[in-house]
Amino acid sequence: WESLGHWSQGLKVSMQDPKLQVYKDDKVVVIKDKYPKARYHWLVLPWISIASLKIVREEHLELLQHMHTIGEKMLRGCPDAKKLQFRMGYHAIPSMSHIHLHVISQDFDSPCLKNKKHWNSFNTEYFLNSEDVIKMVEKDGKVTVQDGASELLKLPLKCHVCKQLQSTLPQLKEHLKKHME
């Protein structure tokens, strides 16, 4: 068991912080990601402790659906929802313990997006779409993460819009501006 002092437990601390909370109900809380990887980056967290997707079973289905619904609610309230694309999903192997649904705009315009691992965690199959996770649990009663998922973080940098390869993150960020015009 890791103490709350360990950085991987940080979400458990952040989710209790009223300054970070943007929505809460009896099942979930939504916080702004402390290190957002895009202009809009929220995390939807259940109050009950579920360490990872590996533990998710059929009895969590309703909760996953509720998390998705709340993610959609965040988008409806977002002033830029019309002009930005968004995705909702989970990291295959998250660095932080306690499952959390990422609701993230696809501009990836953020100083906190600093390396290939950050980029690939949202732009390869490492990022599991919320709908796909729900379908997996409906069909199989569990979430299957592909073997070698962590290898996906090492893939070459590729633009998520036009699929063009970029050799460095600064080049990729510069390239992304073309798609944002």
Name the active-site residue from 66, 100, 160, 175. 100
Tell me what percent of the chain is helix, strand and coil, each rounded to the nearest 5.
Answer: 35, 20, 45
118 catalytically annotated? no
CA 94 to chain centre: 9
**DSSP H helical segments within the chain, as ranges?**
10-14, 61-76, 116-123, 130-140, 169-180
Nearest to 175 by CA among 119, 134, 137, 97: 119
Active site residues: 100
